[in-house]
Structure 1
Amino acid sequence: MKNILLKILLLLPFLLISCSSTTIINSWRDPNTQIHSNQWNKVLVVALLKNETNRRKAEDEMVDYLHGKGVTSYTYLDGTSANMDDVELRKRMKTDGFNAAITMRLIDVDKENVYVPGQNYMYPNYYANFGRYYHRNWIYYSTPGYYVVTKKFVIETLLYSIDEDKLIWSGITETYNPEGVSKLTDEIACTIHKKMIAEGFIEKE
């Protein structure tokens, strides 16, 4: 039903989080769907990460943003779920009151060496005499540069309507050097929320 709309990522903390190291590189939205703020019930949160500890941390972070409406997959999808086909799983979720599911999947981690130059002191008058010129440039040449490893995490986030049984939003983000899983999840949520607002997918109150 088109009138059953979801409040999945109307997350108040987003506006307080800096998401400068995360960018959206691709996104899509269902043009016939708009999320409203008061017509949702229950959201299944799924983080598809190989590391079990990281998976649970990521799901816990996303559930916190949903203010009591989110349910982690590690507590809901038990051994019997793996033996269900998609029709049976959807039936179970609808019976249990779920309106939506949000998934986060790690696509790639790219490492690259980035050169950080040494200190370069540039002053307008440093050519005024030899002593000043020498000392300024000696600091520059005697302070070696170095290489650091930059990590880029590419994450796919999908939003499904269980009521309508379809994908309603998708996005791929890049995050550089996140400080742990919590920071990574925060930044992705922040970036996606801003994108959804900008494209009109989330209704402004």
Structure 2
Amino acid sequence: MKFILTSCICFLLLSCGSNTTIVNSWNDPETTISQEHFKKVLVVALVKDEATRRTTENRIASINPVFKTSYQYLNGMNLQLTNEQKVKILKDENFDGVLTMRLVSTEKETNYVPGTNTSIYYGGFDGMYTGIYGYGFGNWYGMYSPNFYTPGYYQETTYYMVETNIFSLTKNKLIWTGTTKSSYISDIGLTVDEIMKTLYKQMIKDGSVSQK
């Protein structure tokens, strides 16, 4: 899928570190994303908060002109329409694909972070202070290392499970879905970047997207 390939190039230039991992994925055995050759894809962030919806959709739409935000087409004026009527609107606007993203659950995990003892880095007197003049500054500093001991502690991390689906409007069916697990969400835009990068790599593994 051409637009996904272009998108990936941008994402791979981001920082190497990532707080997002893939949990599971599924692709239609009869249809790959590459085969669809999408030209116009609607991006739908299924969240209650309108600001988050727009931030998410705008972030994905900024990747490539093929992506269009849903709030431009499906808003307060037509949300009460039936699914058939909504699909008709999209087809009339020449959409051939839809990408949806939604938060499915949050999970909390508690992990123990061990303490640190600087004496293992700066010490070396074997319990004696004699012969101090023969050592470098690092060894002398080790005499005071107990004052720099950091105790261990428990840390609670919240993980966000996000499901992303890709639908073909021409075939009227789901052709790929993936669930990601993200932590430390302080910037919605950067998290969306990480999710899309992680999904693209999984699409390649699944054989739904070609690297060529």
Task: Give the TM-score band, short-chain normalised.
Answer: 0.7 to 0.9
The answer on 1:42 being equivalent to 2:40 is yes
Q: Is the partner of 2:117 in helix, strand or coil?
A: coil
Q: Is the partner of 1:78 in helix, strand or coil?
A: coil
The answer to whether the Cα contact below 8 Å between 1:7 and 1:35 also exists between their aligned partners in 2 is no
User: In 1, distance between residues paired with 2:38 and 2:84?
Assistant: 21
Amino acid paired to 2:145: R
Partner of 1:186: 193
Moved more, 89-98 or 78-87: 78-87
Output aligned runs, 1:45-64, within 5 Å.
45-64=43-62
Amino acid paired to 2:96: N
Task: State which of 9, 17, 23 in structure 1 corresponds to 2:4.
Answer: 9
The answer to whether the Cα contact below 8 Å between 2:108 and 2:156 also exists between their aligned partners in 1 is yes
The answer on 1:166 being equivalent to 2:173 is yes
Output aligned runs, 1:137-148, within 5 Å.
137-140=146-149, 143-148=150-155
Task: State which of 89, 92, 104 in structure 1 corresponds to 2:89.
Answer: 92
Q: Is the partner of 1:81 in helix, strand or coil?
A: coil
Task: Give me the identity figure in percent.
Answer: 37
User: In 2, distance between residues paired with 1:147 and 1:54?
Assistant: 31
Q: 1:96 to 1:89 in 2, by over 3 A?
A: same
Task: State which of 138, 160, 165 in structure 2 corresponds to 1:153.
Answer: 160
Partner of 1:83: 80
TM-score by length of 1: 0.83
Partner of 1:21: 19
How many residues align? The count is 197
CA deviation string 1:71-130 (max 9, x = no partner): 111111023432322222222211210010001101122344444444322249636224
The answer on 1:71 being equivalent to 2:80 is no
User: In 1, distance between residues paired with 2:31 and 2:68?
Assistant: 23
Segments of 5+ residues of structure 1 without an aligned counterpart are 1-5
Amino acid paired to 1:16: L
Q: What is the CA RMSD across the aligned residues, in angstroms?
A: 2.5
The answer on 1:136 being equivalent to 2:145 is yes
User: In 1, distance between residues paired with 2:66 and 2:55?
Assistant: 17
Partner of 2:204: 197
The answer to whether the Cα contact below 8 Å between 1:47 and 1:103 also exists between their aligned partners in 2 is yes
The answer to whether the Cα contact below 8 Å between 2:103 and 2:163 also exists between their aligned partners in 1 is yes
TM-score by length of 2: 0.81
Moved more, 115-124 or 8-17: 115-124
Deviation of 1:46 after TM superposition, in Å, equals: 0.6
Amino acid paired to 2:199: I
User: In 2, distance between residues paired with 1:7 and 1:94?
Assistant: 21
Q: Is the partner of 1:105 in helix, strand or coil?
A: strand
Which is greater in Rg?
2
Q: Which has a greater percent of helix? A: 2
The answer to whether the Cα contact below 8 Å between 2:162 and 2:181 also exists between their aligned partners in 1 is yes
Segments of 5+ residues of structure 2 without an aligned counterpart are 130-138
